[in-house]
Amino acid sequence: MKQPAIRPLPLRAFNQLAPTSYTGHLHALLDDWQAVRQATLALIQALDTEDLNLQSMAEASPGKWHLAHTTWFFETFLLANYQLDYQWYEPAYCELFNSYYNEIGEQYARARRHLLSRPRVSEVLAYRKHVDAAVPDLLRQLAGTNRDAQALESCLRLLVLGLNHEQQHQELLITDLQHALSHNPLAPAICAPLPPQPDSGALNWIAMPSGVARIGGPTDQRFCFDNETPVHRHLLHNDYALSSRPINNAEYLEFINAGGYDQHQHWHSDGWAWCQKHAQGAPLYWRQRQRQWHHFTLAGELPLDLQAPVTHLNWYEASAYATWRGYRLPTETEWEHAAQALPVEQGQFAETGAWQPCMPGQTGSESVLRGMFGHVWEWTSSPYIPYPGYRQPKGAIGEYNGKFMANQYVLKGGSCASPQSHLRSSYRNFFYPQDRWQFTGLRLARDI
């Protein structure tokens, strides 16, 4: 078994610089460009060509498509817009690797991406190599001509957006692959298993005060996505408390053993309908073997580690568990308010190459929130809707976030498959309530 080796990416220039200073840090941004692009390639070191062609459901994509789409983004928004007389690498790629940008043009149907045996993986890697050389050349060209200063600034903004976009697809590549491999009776492993988790420690309550919270993207003008803006004030009417850590497998197993999946009173109506329609009785990837629970992971099928964070829950399951316990999910404002002063670095991220969540270690203090970043995405009770004063950007880039602000819920904090430099307290991930192939778990909340 090959072991992935991902270059660690601490909080680097592309997310630490204010957009107004991008031009003065061109060399640092080019270093970051190379690091992010190489990190994507590192993810596939443990994979074979056959792995990269798998698509197990309409919501997922083959690894090969992720490699090509992230390259298409830079070709479409940088090279084709800013390089004079640019010749498309392959004009058909404009449709094949366009995800959902209607303003750009037609898109090949997402559910049919598994039919794309061509271009071959080798051809996609050649496409990446072409764009990897062309983008730095374009930026150096623009930097060498004073008349192109405005074009360089605009181009660098798109570069930073594209780097963050690629980091999102790095996580999707991992989680989409796990879903595909889970259908294989061989239970393939592409990384090493984690050692057994130590005792999770008691589930304590960390009190947080009511009052006016400032919510939204970094106030020092560093990069954030448009859906994190504008910074605004939100009134927290009541004091509240969050559980000191995410819920673990042992605690969720109590819900299963108590008949939680058979008792409608814990579930929202849509959740109960989902549960009944699909005959659900456990999180995704849990399997019973000789009356013992096992868990399919990217390290293969393993005995269920009771101390690890429960993961691969959808919003319905997370909410039903919280109701069964007599509590609730936090709102996204409560979660962000509680996390704003916490360091992102103290978490488990994609750079470990483990891609199985571990429980954050005990700190010796009962008054500390553990594992707010990395480990598992934490469902909130908040629908994914625009913040007060939000304005969707014009043009194709405006399709990135705004048009999805309906019928989805916000998740916070990142996971074991998220790059560390990609996260911040204001980050808003979002999925439909039935989705559970991401590393999604939960933390409890209650009023005080």
- pLDDT tens for 208-237 read 999 999 999 986 778 999 999 999 999 999
Burial of 206 (0-12, 13-18, 19+ CB in 10 A): middle
Does 311 share its domain with 364?
Answer: yes
Domain match, 160 and 288 both: no
Counting the structural domains of the chain, the total is 2
Report pLDDT digits (tens) over 384-403: 999 999 999 999 999 999 99
7 vs 297 pLDDT, higher one: 297
Beta-bridge partner residues of 294: 287, 303
Here the CATH number for the domain that contains residue 49 is 1.20.120
Judge if 310 and 228 occupy the same domain: yes
Mean pLDDT score of the chain, rounded to an integer? 94
Q: In terms of domains, do 158 and 214 share one? A: no
Indicate if the pLDDT at residue 146 is higher than 70.
no
Pairing of strands 429-431, 409-412: antiparallel
Phi/psi for 264 (5° steps) reads: -65, -25
Per the domain annotation, does 193 fall within a domain? no
Check whether residue 212 and residue 99 sit in a common domain: no
The distance of Cα 267 from the centroid of its chain, to the nearest Å, equals: 26
Total residue length of the chain: 448
Kindly state whether residues 26 and 88 are assigned to the same domain. yes
Is 347 in a helix, a strand, or coil? coil
Asked which of 148, 181, 214 is the last residue of a domain, the reply is 181
Identify whether the C-beta of residue 164 lies closer than 8 Å to the C-beta of residue 429. no
Q: What is the mean pLDDT of residues 94-118?
A: 97
Residue 111, pLDDT > 50, answer: yes
Flag whether 103 is in a domain: yes
Q: What average pLDDT does range 165-193 have in this prediction?
A: 97
pTM above 0.85, yes or no: yes
pLDDT tens track for 63-77: 999 999 999 999 999
- pLDDT category of residue 7 using cuts at 50, 70 and 90: very low
Q: What is the pLDDT of residues 278-331, one digit of tens each?
A: 999 999 999 999 999 999 999 999 999 999 999 999 999 999 999 999 999 999
Residue of higher predicted confidence among 123 and 23: 123
d(CA 253, CA 308): 12
CATH number for the domain spanning 397: value is 3.90.1580.10
Residue 155 inside a domain? The answer is: yes
Determine the structural domain holding residue 96 and report its residue range: 13-181
In this structure, are 236 and 124 located in the same domain?
A: no
- Please tell me whether residues 417 and 329 are part of one structural domain: yes
**Structure confidence at residue 46 as a pLDDT band (50, 70, 90):** confident
CA nearest 380: which of 412, 337, 355?
Answer: 412
